[in-house]
Structure 1
């Protein structure tokens, strides 16, 4: 990789990291290429970005994006994007693959550990919350119509 390529990569990563709500750093040593493709496919479905980045370049980009504090060692794969989507992708993939281990994350302006990533991954997404709310709003109307229908059938039987 030439110096110009590195500058271009760091500037692109800085912009991406600045615009992302969550960044998860994971170890992937031992994963096959097929498994990494599964991770990329899962991430693409959630509109999340995944990339293996050298630690020195990642540190520079994170520093430029004001998201410092994560300790980067060994080989790492970075997952970034909307915070709930990132945590869901990382946690779901970690459950299925023993070689994929979440190390650290930067969420909501602070460095956090694996526990917070897993806790956030269990939270419902915005769409799921809207669906729950609509279901709650719809329940009284639905129960009322069921009651009216039962009353109608009872009156028909007695007549």
Structure 2
């Protein structure tokens, strides 16, 4: 790889890292090509970029960026996953894949520039995703007016029952 190719890799990696809300460093030692292809497919469906990187190029690319906290830990064989919209989605896919394939391991990550170790990444993966949180929020917001309408409907119904009872009482008398 010559200097211009290295510069292109560094700039590409830097732009991905700066646009990502989460960056997760993983160990892929021992995975087959089929395993890596399957993992990349799952990550692509979740909107996550996954790239095997040379350590020195990754350290240079991460220097001075949002995820600079990762550069000192990049050693041996590693790949970096960049999540853009939903940081939980990236952690979920990688965590689930790690449960299925024992050779795969999450090392550490950076969420909006804050360092997170392997355990913190696993805890992050247990959180509900962005669409799930939005659905819960909308359900909660919808519950208030629905309950309000039901309350007034019950008041009118009880008033109607009282009038009907008075009518029946007067008719009987």
- TM-score category (smaller protein): 0.7 to 0.9
SS of 1:69's partner is: helix
Q: Tell me the TM-score normalised to structure 1 length.
A: 0.82
Q: Counterpart of 2:106?
A: 102
Q: Identify if the C-alpha distance between structure 1 residues 98 and 2 changes in structure 2 by more than 3 Å, giving closer, same or farther.
A: same
Counterpart of 1:59 in structure 2 is 59
Q: 2:95 aligns with which of 73, 91, 95?
A: 91
Pair 1:19-2:23 in alignment? no
How far 1:3 moved relative to its partner?
A: 1.1
Q: Pairwise mapping of residues 123-134 of structure 1 onto structure 2 (< 5 A)?
A: 123-134=127-138
What is the CA-CA distance between 1:22 and the residue it aligns to? 0.6
With over 3 angstroms needed to count, the CA separation of the structure-2 counterparts of 1:47 and 1:66, relative to structure 1, is: closer
Q: CA RMSD in A?
A: 2.2
TM-score by length of 2: 0.76
- Distance in 2, matches of 1:107 and 1:137, equals 29
Task: Please state if 1:111 is matched with 2:148.
Answer: no
Q: Structure 1: any 5+ residue segments left out of the alignment?
A: 149-159
Contact 2:67 2:112 in 1 (8 A): no
Aligned residues: 147
Offset at residue 97 of structure 1 (A): 0.8
Please give the secondary structure, in 1, of the residue aligned with 2:68.
coil
CA 1:106–1:137 in 2, change beyond 3 Å: closer, same or farther? closer
Distance in 2, Cα, partners of 1:57 & 1:43: 22
1:47-81 CA-partner distances (Å, limit 9, x unpaired): 10001000000000011424223311110011012
Indicate the structure (1 or 2) with the bigger Cα radius of gyration. 2
| Other-structure match for 2:76 | 74
Instruction: Kindly provide the CA deviation profile for residues 65-112 of structure 1, in whole angstroms up to 9, marking residues without a partner as x.
Output: 242233111100110123222211211111111010111111121211
- Give the secondary-structure state (helix, strand or coil) at the position aligned to 2:38: helix
Q: Matches of 1:92 and 1:80 in 2, distance apart?
A: 17
Partner of 1:155: none
Once the two structures are superposed, residues 7-45 of structure 1 have per-residue CA deviations (whole angstroms, 9 ceiling, x without a partner) of 011011111101111110011111111110111011111
1:75 counterpart SS class: coil
